[in-house]
Structure 1
Amino acid sequence: MSPTAWGGVLGATAALGILLVASRVAALRRPHLGLRVLPYLRDVPRIGQPVRPVASPAGASPFHAASEVFGPGVRAAADLVERVLGGSASVRRRLDRLGVEMTVHEFRVEQVFWGLGGFGLVAGVQVLRALSGPVSPVAALILCGVGFGTGVLLRDNRLSAQVTRRERQMVVEFPVVAELLALSVAAGESPVAALDRVVRRCRGELARELGGLLARIRTGESVGQAFDRLASTTGLELVARFSRGVAVAVERGTPLADVLHAQAADVREAGRRALIESAARREVAMMAPVVFLVLPVTIVFAFFPGAIGLRLMAP
């Protein structure tokens, strides 16, 4: 075959590869059907599940495909973890506080995969040790079991850390949201209309939580009952106090705007007080390196030349 023909074949192959890559990139960039449809159905209730704003389509978890492929074994391992650890009520409460559409069983499945990751990491280390010298099989098996348990517990700790981070964000967002609600109510809007305006205008974890509350109200639940449920499920005392205050104000007809303004002021004052206390603790903590590191070095540098001079002058 002539060089020209070879060039044509190579050019056609390269063009075909570029076409395949471009088509695949275009397919990946195309929005998923769930992402296009579910935002319009966010207020539709689901039987047996708490109503929450839709954050991601079903099956978006990175462990979803693996759990579908290895379904029976993974489910059995998740049931075993549930029997050993227990505490499903605590997990359910933390998942509700995190605001994710995940069951306790799905969380146990993720714990199993985290445990398998720890097991594989420790097993890899043991294999490398076996290549360089003898390794006790019993000790290696025990260490692999410890790795599995560590992975399971790390997933539980990560859930607690996610809940804490989300609640901190809600504390930061609360004064702004409360002020916006107060302004909307003072302008003549009803509590439901004020909630709708705030949820549509705000972005954040507290707005998501209020979006779920608004969805429950639109599906037939009364405003007082919705806020009472939020007060019973949240892990933040200020949000619970806010929910109970709104529920009482709606039921008894007290001025809601004044209640919201007062609660926003209380939260800002509590945040300022917490900041001052944190600064005081950090000031004390900063004294430790100064006293135990900087000061001794300064004393050594100040007295060492004098000690050397006295030694030289001594007969």
Structure 2
Amino acid sequence: MTAATWGGVLGATLAAGLMLVAVRAVAWRRTPLTVRVLPYLRDLPRTSPGVPSAAPGPPTSVVAAVYGPPLRSAAQTVERVLGGTASVKRRLERAGLSGTSVHDFRVQQVLWGLAGFALAAAYGLLEALTDPGGALASAMLCLVAFAAGVLARDNHLTGQVRARERRILAEFPTVAELLALSVAAGESPVAALDRVVRRSGGDLSADLGKVLAAVRTGEPVPSAFDRLASASGLPLVSRFAQGIAVAVERGTPLADVLHAQAADVREAGRRELIEVAARREVLMMVPVVFLVLPVTVLFAFWPGVVGLSLTTP
């Protein structure tokens, strides 16, 4: 294919896309038939404000109206191929993205895959201008790039979960000590929780705020903390929530439990720091062996080498 042919194909594709967007924009501006007819049909039952209607609402933009249905179909295909809905849902909750559904996450995976596909297609187009015979390799590269983009979004979600768990572990000792001080000062567990949530900010405080909201709606305190323990992926936070639930349910001293929990987290942080330092010890020796030591040897032996070369007849 010559450059003129590729230009014609790209121009026709752009023109078809613009025409499709224009036609869909004109159709979207029209008032739907249901909106025009429904006010005159009084015998039909009306939906209550709290119950969503069976028919989906109109799209909020032209882009959503044009590309929304294909993206949703592609997301359903990715869901059927990959599966793991329960795992994805749990990771979304652990990452603090409980407002994002599994379907929305699959749509994001498709978008990441399309971004990789577009980069690979652009690279293949540039290669085709110089080597027209590599069309099959370019197509395979585009498919691999799409799959890599889909998997990259999944790995990014796992990274978000780990980053949030690290932030929670960093906040945990301070939050536990504040709760212990509030309880030791004579406040009830709910009042202490309210004070700590209002005075602090972070991922752990957001989780405790959800627990406080559940308690205020009538859920028992042990049940709310048990749910936090089951939803959390960190053993320390699970033990913390279970300890508070048991202390509230059986009447054991809560301040001592919280102080012990904070001390356990600090000790676990020290152990993790020591383990990381032990794993990084070899990496720390790399600049010493490959940078400092050769320079030291060079400084030690170079004057002797120069002196020998000067004194040699």
Alignment equivalent of 1:220, drawn from 205, 218, 221: 218
Higher-RCO chain (CA-CA 8 Å, sequence separation at least 6): 1
Name the stretch that deviates more: 280-289 or 92-101: 280-289
2:101, 2:232 → 1: CA distance?
18
Question: What is the CA–CA distance in structure 2 between the aligned matches of 1:220 and 1:65, rounded to whole Å?
Answer: 44
Instruction: Show structure 1 runs of 5+ residues with no match.
Output: 1-45, 48-63
Larger mean CA deviation between 144-153 and 180-189 belongs to 180-189
**C-alpha separation in 2, matches of 1:156 and 1:68:** 26
- Deviation track 1:263-295 (CA, whole Å, cap 9, x = no partner) reads 111112222332233334444422122113321
Structure 1 residue 195: deviation in Å?
A: 1.3
Aligned residues: 255
CA contact (8 A) 1:67 1:74 kept: no
Task: Answer yes or no: is 1:93 the counterpart of 2:100.
Answer: no
Q: CA RMSD in A?
A: 2.2
1:135-214 map, 5 Å: 135-214=133-212
Measure the CA separation in 2 of the matches of 1:144 and 1:237. 42
Equivalents in 1 of 2:199, 2:161: separation in Å? 24
Alignment partner, residue 232 of structure 1: 230
Using the alignment, how far apart are the partners of 2:255 and 2:188 within structure 1?
A: 11
Q: 1:253 to 1:68 in 2, by over 3 A?
A: farther
| Offset of residue 131 of structure 1 | 2.4
| Match in the other structure for 2:128 | 130
Tell me how far 1:314 sits from its aligned partner: 4.4
Query: Which position in structure 1 is the counterpart of 2:304?
Result: 306
What code does the residue aligned with 2:234 have?
L
Find the partner of 1:258 among 256, 259, 271. 256
The percent of aligned pairs where both chains have the same amino acid is 65
2-side partners of 1:166 and 1:68: how far apart?
Answer: 34
Question: Post-superposition shift, 1:75?
Answer: 1.2
TM-score by length of 2: 0.75
Output the amino acid matched with 1:290: V
User: What letter corresponds to residue 222 of structure 1 in structure 2?
Assistant: P
Deviations 1:31-54 (A, max 9, x none): xxxxxxxxxxxxxxx99xxxxxxx
Per mean C-alpha deviation after superposition, the further-off stretch among 229-238 and 294-303 is: 294-303
Between the aligned partners of 2:180 and 2:86, the Cα distance in structure 1 is 35
Residues 65-117 of structure 1 deviation map (CA, whole Å, 9 limit, x = unaligned): 85554222111111111111111111111011112211111100100001001
Instruction: Tell me if structure 2 keeps the 8 A contact 1:182–1:257.
Output: yes
Q: CA deviation at 1:183?
A: 1.5
Structure 2 counterpart of 1:98, one-letter code = A
CA distance in 1, matches of 2:144, 2:260: 51
Whole-angstrom CA distance in 2 between matches of 1:290 and 1:179: 42
State how far apart, in whole Å, the 2-side matches of 1:192 and 1:308 are: 79
What residue in structure 2 maps to residue 73 of structure 1?
A: 70
Q: Any idea what SS the aligned residue of 1:70 has?
A: helix
SS of the equivalent of 1:189 reads coil
Deviation at 1:215, TM superposition (A): 1.6
CA distance in 2, matches of 1:277, 1:250: 35
TM-score, reference length from structure 1: 0.75
